[in-house]
Amino acid sequence: MQPLTDNDTLADKDRVFELAAELFGILATPTRLRILNALCDKEKSVSELLAEIDTTQPNLSQHLNLLYRAGVLAKRKEGTQVYYRVQSEQAVALCRTVCTQIAIELDNPGSTPGAERLLPRRS
C-alpha cells in the first residue's frame, strides 16, 4: 500500500481508513488471532483447531466463517471434514508483526522507547 499523500483526495483517504478499520475489526478478537496463529504453518480441520483453541465448536465456526467471508482464510471440504488455510498472507504478516512487538514489550518493558511502543499506557 502506498502512503497517503497530499495529492490523494479526501474521499480516497476516507476509503483507505474505512477499509483499514474494517480489516482491524475482523482481526480484533483474541480467538481470531489464535486461529491465524494455528493456521500459519499448514491447513487444519475444524476438529484440529478445536483441540488447539479453547472455545466451543459453534463459536469457532462463527469466527472461521467471518475470516473466510473476509477473504483472510480459504477452506476446502473433504468428506465430512472442513479444512481451513490462510488465504491472505498479508493479514497474517500484519498480525505477526504486531503480536511479536507486543510480546517483546511484555517480556522486557523498558526495551522499547515510549514513542515506539504499541502497548497502550496503563494508568
> Has residue 46 been placed in a domain?
yes
> Has residue 104 been placed in a domain?
yes
> Has residue 15 been placed in a domain?
no
> Has residue 83 been placed in a domain?
yes
Tell me phi and psi for residue 77, to 5 degrees. Answer: -110, 135
Instruction: Choose among 86, 83, 76, 77: nearest CA to 32.
Output: 86
> Has residue 12 been placed in a domain?
no
Q: For residues 49 and 60, what is the distance between their CA atoms, to the nearest angstrom? A: 8
CATH code for the domain of 80: 1.10.10.10
Report how many domains make up the chain: 1
pLDDT of residue 101: 85
Domain ranges, residue 89: 30-116
> Has residue 42 been placed in a domain?
yes
As a three-state string, the secondary structure of the chain is: CCCCCCCCCHHHHHHHHHHHHHHHHHCCCHHHHHHHHHHCCCCEEHHHHHHHCCCCHHHHHHHHHHHHHCCCEEEEEECCEEEEEECCHHHHHHHHHHHHHHHHHHHCHHHCCHHHCCCCCCC
Q: For residues 114 and 112, what is the distance between their CA atoms, to the nearest angstrom? A: 6
> Has residue 48 been placed in a domain?
yes
Average confidence (pLDDT) per 10 residues, the chain, 123 residues:
63 87 92 95 96 96 97 96 95 88 84 76 60
Cell triple for 118: 504499541
pLDDT of residue 73: 97
